[in-house]
DNA sequence: TATGAAATATACAAATCTGTATATTTCATG
DNA sequence: CATGAAATATACAGATTTGTATATTTCATA
């Protein structure tokens, strides 16, 4: 509803990705967003709360974008084409990484709320892959989904570490082999 | 030479892994190590310097451990057995993750010294895998090495996020397929 | 026992962090 | 124009951060 609320979310998301979460103070966020701490704490009553909302919005936006790309495709081809979309995402100039991967590294304690949300989002992504694997007729959909998630998250990690790594190119080739083996074998 | 220096390195490494780097102050480190800031700053003249030394020692120790495990094996079997050792490492109770993966997430800026060292260590690990792939007679050793590194780093990431994920089990199966394809095909 | 380096305790500086209190200004709506 | 909620500026509290200054104590060695 509020424009300032959205602005804060957007700015925080950007700063968290480019500078890290713990290295970004709320003073910086409100300065870039062009507002004050009073407003920030009105909408998000703690920094941890803001972090959680940023993560949730990021995950929702990503899933919505991916779902839009994936619509109206044959089940057997969906898994392959998924990697085309992931490649488009990773190689885009404004790619900044997978938010929940970084967040879980900054909050390693498994009891921490941010870590728990990150783990939940990772689980949901694997579940999404498992759905695609099931539709495609894989023998062991959970196994294939986990293997593909390793390739995707590994490629994202590699690209976070070094832009232009080209990792996704080789992840795609590996995925093709694994998908074929899981469907035929 | 100095026992305190080693103690500080060890304690810092442990705290960085369990609580995160930016969330661990030097006051905490010296308190746990049973010394004072004066001593810490005598050996490591800044926190960033300490972080870099912790990363370097961690990487050296890991490579030394792995090299010890890998000695006297047939080149064609080394790649497979590598995953057995990685599994042993990941499933050990005191496994705390891959230090350079977390560090690069906490310092996302590619110009940052900690990020650069992390990227360098990741590159060295891929190079090590490429050496094994070459010895094994892979057609495109660089490609296979990159794919295997995606599986390993992905599995480590998964285990960092949730202990007992079992990801390495499926990474091994995927690796077996990819290795066979790279050697035969 | 005397010397001198290593380590220590204590205190502090200066900056930054999250979060709040207070009072003023903007601005759409009645 | 008047009312009232939203947003603002300003200032501050209290804790924590990295890093240093100073002075004392430990302790092996000459």
What is the residue extent of each domain of chain B? 1-45, 51-183
What distance lies between CA B87 and its chain's CA centroid?
Answer: 13
- Residue A58 (CA) to nucleotide C23 (C1'), in angstroms, measures 37
- Residue B54 (CA) to nucleotide D29 (C1'), in angstroms, measures 33
- Residue B25 (CA) to nucleotide D25 (C1'), in angstroms, measures 27
Which among B122, B153, B177 has the least Cβ separation from residue A177?
B177
Residue B108: the pLDDT is 97
Residue A2 CB lies within 7 Å of the nucleic strand D: yes
pLDDT in tens, A49-72: 999 999 999 999 999 999 999 986
Residue A3: the pLDDT is 85
Residue B45 CB lies within 7 Å of the nucleic strand D: yes
Query: Does residue B82 register a pLDDT over 80?
Result: yes
Query: Does residue A96 register a pLDDT over 70?
Result: yes
Residue B1: the pLDDT is 54
Tokens for A111, please give them.
């009891």
For the domain made up of A48-184, give the CATH fold: Tetracycline Repressor; domain 2 (1.10.357)
Token pair 């285990």 is found at B159
Query: Does residue A1 register a pLDDT over 80?
Result: no
Mean pLDDT, chain B, integer: 95
Between residues A75 and A56, the one the model is more confident about: A56
**Count of other CB atoms within 10 angstroms of residue B9:** 20
Residue A149 parent element (H or E): helix A141-161
Section B136-160 average pLDDT: 97
Closest CA to B12 of B56, B50, B46: B50
User: Of residues 8 to 47 in chain B, which lie within 7 A of strand C by their beta carbon?
Assistant: 34-39, 42
Tokens for A168, please give them.
């996704």
Section B62-67 average pLDDT: 96
For the domain made up of B1-45, give the CATH fold: Arc Repressor Mutant, subunit A (1.10.10)
Q: What's the pLDDT band for A148 if we cut at 50, 70, 90?
A: very high
Q: What's the pLDDT band for A175 if we cut at 50, 70, 90?
A: very high
Mean pLDDT, chain A, integer: 95
Section A77-84 average pLDDT: 94
Residue A160 CB lies within 7 Å of the nucleic strand D: no
For domain B51-183, the CATH superfamily is Tetracycline Repressor, domain 2 (1.10.357.10)
Does B104 reach chain A within 8 Å, measured CB to CB? yes
Residue A37 CB lies within 7 Å of the nucleic strand D: yes
* 3-state SS assignment for residue A100: helix
Distance separating alpha carbons of residues B174 and A180, to the nearest angstrom: 12
Query: Does residue A185 register a pLDDT over 80?
Result: no
| Percentage of the residues of chain A whose pLDDT score is greater than 70 | 98
């Amino acid at each position: 509803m509020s424009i300032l609320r959205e602005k804060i979310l957007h700015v925080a998301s950007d700063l968290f990705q480019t500078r890290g979460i713990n290295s970004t103070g709320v003073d910086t966020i409100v300065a870039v967003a062009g507002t004050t701490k009073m407003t920030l704490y009105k909408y998000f009553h703690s920094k941890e709360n803001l972090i959680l909302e940023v993560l949730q919005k990021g995950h929702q936006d990503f899933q919505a974008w991916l779902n839009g790309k994936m619509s109206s495709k044959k089940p057997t081809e969906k898994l392959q084409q998924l990697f085309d979309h992931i490649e488009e995402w990773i190689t885009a100039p404004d790619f900044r990484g997978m938010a929940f991967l970084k967040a879980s590294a900054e909050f390693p304690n498994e009891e921490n709320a941010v870590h728990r949300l990150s783990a939940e989002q990772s689980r949901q992504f694997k579940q999404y892959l498992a759905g695609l694997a099931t539709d495609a007729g894989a023998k062991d959909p959970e196994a294939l989904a986990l293997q593909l998630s390793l390739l995707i998250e590994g490629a994202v990690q590699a690209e976070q570490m070094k832009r232009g790594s080209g990792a996704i190119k080789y992840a795609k080739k590996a995925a093709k082999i694994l998908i074929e083996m899981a469907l035929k074998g």
